[in-house]
Structure 1
Amino acid sequence: MRLLVIDTALGACTAAVFEDSRPLAAQFLPMTKGHQERLGGVVRDVVAEAGGGFDGLDRIGVTVGPGSFTGLRVGLAFAQGLGAALDRPVVGISALDGLAGSLPEDGSPVAALIDARRGQVYIKLFVNGLATGADEALTLEDAAQRVAALGPDVRLVGNGAPVLIEAFPDVKHALADDRVAPSPEALARLAAAADPATDLPKPLYLRAPDATPPSRLPGQPRQPAVPTAT
């Protein structure tokens, strides 16, 4: 199977082409903004480098979050549009699954953590390579308790790892890997194993966006203040 993987949900713009787990071309560009401007060129370049063109692709995998509201939608819209144009299946990948899969498997428990700001992290726990539950948004205190329950040999991965350690330095861990995004290899493994019928390319939102819609349209007059009774 030849597949294209795309990730714009976190702190990088990633595109890579793999064939039967063998990397043919990959670009991993760390960035916190500007994914929309770079993604098209990055995908074009990796497909050209891999050879065979877009028609040679069998599947497209894309991260669905949790992560940046704007960033993950950039990748999702691009992947869905490309999949529709090529008539190829598009599968969704959890960014937390991708982070956990980026660590070498050694049997130790793993806590994948993304900084959600406002005193929270997005978190997913893994034991023996299998998730123990769903993706969640937790306070740092609750996350620290979950991590501590896994024991001192737990490995932390993601940009939420240093946030948790700074807030709760007593949490014991064997490793803290603060990578900004999943590796292309991890994304490719997950995309190849995904089921197009159930692993859908839909955004995974764990809380409401920080931004709020405007209270009035452009050019619309402001509503007069309601006088208060005295």
Structure 2
Amino acid sequence: MDARLVIDTSLNACGLGLFDGESCLFSCHEEMTRGQQERLPVMALDAFRATGIAPRDLTVIGVTLGPGSFTGVRVGLSFAKGLAAGAGVALKGVGTLEALARHAALGGKARMAVINGGRGQVYVQCFDAENAHRAPATLDLAYPEEIAAFAAKNPIEVMTGPAVSLLAEYWPGMAEFPQTWPSLDALCRLTVDAGHDDLTPLYMREADAIASTRGIISLNESA
């Protein structure tokens, strides 16, 4: 059995899927802006009970790395790291934009995935028909001339993701394929692709509350 567990908590949702190869055995995706840390372990337990698969039986665990909310991305990555370490299973990280762009319905098309980063910013990533891709980019809605220039350099056939409406006017004639969050099936397929060993998270914004470093004394400093 090629048991793959995938986790997505990057875009105001909590999703978990358990697959045998690319065949889905268990899937659950629930919209939520908070509470992923409580819901995710329950989903995992439900998946293992429903399928009879134990964590040690997994071949790989895949998790989305963002762009996404600070809390959501941290919850998913922390849970995935803990489960992978405890079970001795390989862990793979997948960018949320890449997961959106790899929906099965988009195969063979030049496309761009888009996520609303808030505060007038939109995160984008372009892919060609063979899945070759450029690095993610940030577009600022306050500078339409720069978005237009970006569009001229990056022709696409289809735009996908939860922020399609924010950029559609700059790519007239292209098709729209909105997605609220990444497909767990796409995430499952990406876990076995090369190039997903980097687990560095990508946050839309840092947490609102940042721990203060005032008053911290380094052990290397003299008293």
TM-score class normalised by the smaller sequence: 0.7 to 0.9
Once the two structures are superposed, the pairs formed by residues 1-230 of structure 1 within 5 Å of their partners are: 1-140=2-141, 141=144, 142-151=146-155, 154-165=157-168, 169=169, 171-195=171-195, 199-205=197-203, 208-209=205-206, 211=208, 213=210
CA contact (8 A) 1:30 1:180 kept: no
CA distance in structure 1 between the partners assigned to 2:191 and 2:211 by the alignment: 38
| Match in the other structure for 1:228 | none
CA distance in structure 2 between the partners assigned to 1:82 and 1:36 by the alignment: 13
Instruction: Report the more deviating stretch, 20-29 or 131-140.
Output: 131-140
CA distance in structure 2 between the partners assigned to 1:120 and 1:143 by the alignment: 11
CA distance in structure 1 between the partners assigned to 2:176 and 2:12 by the alignment: 17
CA distance in structure 2 between the partners assigned to 1:43 and 1:201 by the alignment: 20
CA distance in structure 2 between the partners assigned to 1:32 and 1:102 by the alignment: 23
How many pairs are equivalent? 210
CA distance in structure 2 between the partners assigned to 1:59 and 1:106 by the alignment: 24
2:62 match: secondary structure: strand
Normalising by the residue count of structure 1, what TM-score does the alignment of the two structures yield? 0.82
Amino acid at match of 1:181: W
Structure 1: state its 5+ residue gaps: 218-230
| 1:33-54 CA distance string (max 9 Å, x none) | 2211211111111222222222
CA contact (8 A) 2:56 2:88 kept: no
CA distance in structure 1 between the partners assigned to 2:199 and 2:133 by the alignment: 22
Question: Compared with structure 1, are the counterparts of its residues 144 and 4 closer, same or farther at alpha carbon in structure 2 (3 Å cutoff)?
Answer: farther
CA distance in structure 1 between the partners assigned to 2:212 and 2:154 by the alignment: 46
| Match in the other structure for 1:223 | none
Question: Compared with structure 1, are the counterparts of its residues 156 and 82 closer, same or farther at alpha carbon in structure 2 (3 Å cutoff)?
Answer: same
Runs of 4+ in 1 over 4 A off after TM superposition: 214-217
Normalising by the residue count of structure 2, what TM-score does the alignment of the two structures yield? 0.84
CA distance in structure 2 between the partners assigned to 1:60 and 1:215 by the alignment: 34
CA contact (8 A) 2:151 2:170 kept: no
CA distance in structure 1 between the partners assigned to 2:178 and 2:152 by the alignment: 18
| Match in the other structure for 1:221 | none
* Cα distance, 1:194 vs structure 2: 4.0
CA distance in structure 2 between the partners assigned to 1:24 and 1:212 by the alignment: 39
Amino acid at match of 1:199: D
Question: Compared with structure 1, are the counterparts of its residues 75 and 144 closer, same or farther at alpha carbon in structure 2 (3 Å cutoff)?
Answer: farther
Q: CA RMSD in A?
A: 2.3
CA contact (8 A) 1:99 1:157 kept: yes
Who wins on radius of gyration, i.e. which is larger? 1
